[in-house]
Amino acid sequence: METIIDQVVHAAGHYEGRGDGAESGPFSGVVDIRALLEGRGAELTYTATAPDGTLLHEEHTVLALDMWSGEPTLYVLCAELEGLGELLQVGETTFSNGRGVDSFQLQIELAIEGDVFQYAWAWGAPGDDVVERSRVTLTRTR
């Protein structure tokens, strides 16, 4: 059975596209996906840039099996949040930190269909619902 890790590893390449964010508005996005250690995981490097060239988001993420639980896990390092985030797979294409630090909930969805890659961030402050805040749809260019 193909896992989300297998899907992402097989989708390795350079992706470019457009997105929209609740706080940022429209933006352009670039994602590079690279297989790691003979397909044991994948690295995703993601940047989002405003139309005026301002860098909105920079992220380095590793998708791999957690060595203790054996579950597919996203390890997210981004400029907006302090530290390394660990998000466990909670749905076919969705990863979550659960209640997180101080009950801040974060979810990331990644979906691949052919040469199209979608990446979405959703979050909720303590006591708030988790709401999608940013989504980018990208197409493989190489």
pLDDT along the chain (142 residues), means of 10: 91 97 93 94 96 95 92 92 88 84 82 95 86 95 91
Number of domains in the chain: 1
What does the alpha-carbon distance between residue 9 and residue 79 come to, in Å, rounded to a whole number? 24
Whether the full predicted model's pTM is greater than 0.75, yes or no, is yes
What is the domain-level CATH number for residue 67? 2.40.128.20
Domain that holds residue 36: 4-140
> Contact, 137 vs 31, CB < 8 A?
no
- Rg for the chain, CA atoms, rounded: 15
